[in-house]
Amino acid sequence: MPDFYDDDARLTRPRIVALALSAALVALLSLIILTAPGDLERLNLVARERLTESGVANPVTAVLLNFRGYDTLLEVAVLLLAVIGIWSMARYARVWIKVPDTPVLAAFVRLVLPLMVLVSGYLLWLGADAPGGAFQGGAVLGGMGILWIAAAVWLPDFQFQRFARVMLVLGLIAFVGASTLLLALEGSFMEYPAGEAKNWILVIESAAMISIGMTLMMLFVGGIPRLNEGTV
Amino acid sequence: MNDSAALYAVAGVILFGMGIYALVAYPHLLRKILGMNVMGIGVFAVFVALAYRGPDQPPDPVPHALVITGIVVAVCATGLGLTLATRLKALTGVAQLTPDQED
Amino acid sequence: MNLILTVDVILVVIMLVTAWLALTARDLQRAVILFIALGLLVSLAWVRLQAPDVAMAEAAVGAGLTGALLISTLNSMRELQKKKTSEVTPPADASPTPQEANHA
């Protein structure tokens, strides 16, 4: 069977059964959601009430980095795990780099890269009181890395690996370090000292943003960067 | 729940159903990964719809934060899955689950 | 109010149709492109539901980066297919792959 054309797209009998079962599931879940109890306000009210104590004015950032900081900590760990999983299949790096036919893409990318660094930093700073933050900034950084590779402006080689490793763990180290320090200073996990929350959040977010960007780039590389040994 | 929120919540459930159908019914791994992503989008749609409080009131930030976390975790799962699929393709020559491989 | 609801309905219908086409398209390249389109449509919906943070994350990560991953995977699978096809010396007992891969 050719691999890029799923020729077998016909509605065979097992597929009709699967479709019917999915439809039943959809009906059931819709019923549950539409008749769910409407009292969903408690967390919303608590989050908004205590927003002024969180150190930031954007409620989403407050939830991500303060009220539910441990969630984000675990997420940063999950990102690291994904890269470790990909690197354990290191000989099968996915990137098939071809130098583009025209120099336009590379020139454009060279022009845009510094802007993207600026934008990611701006998004991080903006996240404190408007839509934005570590995840959006990290996505811009990751997109920058991907453009970099896709335009073959610069390709990750074996040396880059060490740098990448440091950047990958930076977010988790900052998070765990900060929460351990807070545990020692304040006696409770992930609870920032009153009035200084903003600085703590900014430090953790910056480190997390760098790690998120590097993680996304490494997902695209799809294996330990090793330019000389080729791919697959 | 207001009309718009209900509409988007039901749309999310339908997306979830489509995704689970593609995941189960098609053999190609890439399509399964696409199905998984569409399921994820469906779940996010339900979350964001439940957070919506109408045009006059601010929405609930807690589900929003969960969804942002979820989007980034979903892309990681996708990256890992795609690497696995590529490796399967490199080792066996196919990126599909064929009936022959079931035993 | 009714106008807004109409726009909602249109957006939801486009979303669902795009999702269905993305999941059932025969050509995987087309499926991936439609999936990216779905991600962008969904981020429009998030803006509509007053979730701009989520919309930014979805457009950048859900549509952009996931799309880049999917396209690069398709490319590398295609390269692997080419490699496999060229490696196979004309087999005496015709295994099905090379010919079928060619007419694709």
Interface test with A, best of C26, C56, C97, C103 (most A CBs within 10 A): C56
With a cut of 70, say whether residue C99 has pLDDT above it.
no
Q: Is residue A88 part of a domain?
A: yes
Residue B57 DSSP symbol: S
Say whether B13 and A43 touch across the interface (CB within 8 A). Answer: no
CA distance linking residue C51 with residue C10, whole number of Å: 19
Tell me the pLDDT tens digit for each residue of C33-62.
999 999 999 999 999 999 999 999 999 998
Say what the ipTM of the complex is.
Answer: 0.90
Q: Is residue A49 part of a domain?
A: no
Write down the pLDDT at residue B102.
44
For residue A232, name the pLDDT band (cuts at 50, 70, 90).
Answer: very low
Q: Is residue C74 part of a domain?
A: yes
Q: Is residue C100 part of a domain?
A: no
Is the Cβ–Cβ distance between A65 and A56 less than 8 Å? Answer: yes
Cα nearest neighbour of A145 on chain C: C65
* Contacting residues of C for A6, CB less than 8 Å apart: 26, 28
C30 touches chain B (CB under 8 A): no
Which residues are CB-contacts of C26 (< 8 A; sequence separation ≥ 6)?
A: A5, A6, A7, A9
Rg over alpha carbons for chain C, rounded to the nearest Å, is 20
Three-class secondary structure of residue B60 per DSSP: coil
Tokens (6 digits) for A16 = 């009709």
B1 touches chain C (CB under 8 A): no
- Nearest C-alpha neighbor of C53 from the set B7, A215, B58: B58
Cβ-in-10-Å burial (0-12, 13-18, 19+) of B68 comes to buried
For residue C32, name the pLDDT band (cuts at 50, 70, 90).
Answer: very high
* Contacting residues of B for A48, CB less than 8 Å apart: 58, 61
Q: Is residue C99 part of a domain?
A: no
Q: Is residue C21 part of a domain?
A: yes
pLDDT, average across residues A23-43: 83
CA distance linking residue A178 with residue B38, whole number of Å: 36
CATH class of B3-96: mainly alpha
Contact residues, A window 141-170, toward B, CB-based 8 Å cutoff: none
* Contacting residues of C for B45, CB less than 8 Å apart: 42, 45
Considering only CB atoms, A86 lies closest to which of B9, B58, B79, namely B79
Dihedral, B1, C52, A80, A82 alpha carbons, nearest 10? 70
The nearest CA of chain C is from the CA of A127 a distance in Å of 9
Cα nearest neighbour of C98 on chain A: A2
Three-class secondary structure of residue A35 per DSSP: coil
Instruction: Give the whole-number percent of chain A exceeding pLDDT 90.
Output: 28
Write down the pLDDT at residue A84.
92
How many domains, in total, are found in chain A? 1
Q: Is residue C70 part of a domain?
A: yes
Tell me the pLDDT tens digit for each residue of A44-56.
777 777 887 777 8
Write down the pLDDT at residue A229.
47
Q: Is residue A44 part of a domain?
A: no
Say whether B48 and C35 touch across the interface (CB within 8 A). Answer: no
Q: Is residue A50 part of a domain?
A: no
Say whether A143 and C60 touch across the interface (CB within 8 A). Answer: yes
Chains in contact with B, counting 3 or more C-beta pairs less than 8 Å apart as contact:
A, C
Considering only CB atoms, C53 lies closest to which of A133, A143, A216, namely A133
Cα nearest neighbour of B18 on chain C: C20
Instruction: Give the whole-number percent of chain B exceeding pLDDT 90.
Output: 55
Chains in contact with A, counting 3 or more C-beta pairs less than 8 Å apart as contact:
B, C
Note down the domain range covering C8: 2-85
Angle at Cα A71 formed by Cα A70 and Cα A75, nearest 5°?
115
C37 touches chain B (CB under 8 A): no
- Nearest C-alpha neighbor of A69 from the set A187, A214, A200, A210: A200
CA distance linking residue C54 with residue B45, whole number of Å: 10
Q: Is residue A27 part of a domain?
A: no
Q: Is residue A4 part of a domain?
A: no
| Exposure string for A195-228, b = 16+ CB within 10 A, e = fewer | eebbebbbebbbbbbbbbbbbbbbbbbbbbbbee
Q: Is residue A151 part of a domain?
A: yes
Is the Cβ–Cβ distance between B7 and C9 less than 8 Å? Answer: yes
Q: Is residue C93 part of a domain?
A: no
Note down the domain range covering A144: 56-229
- Nearest C-alpha neighbor of B19 from the set B3, B42, B1, B2: B42
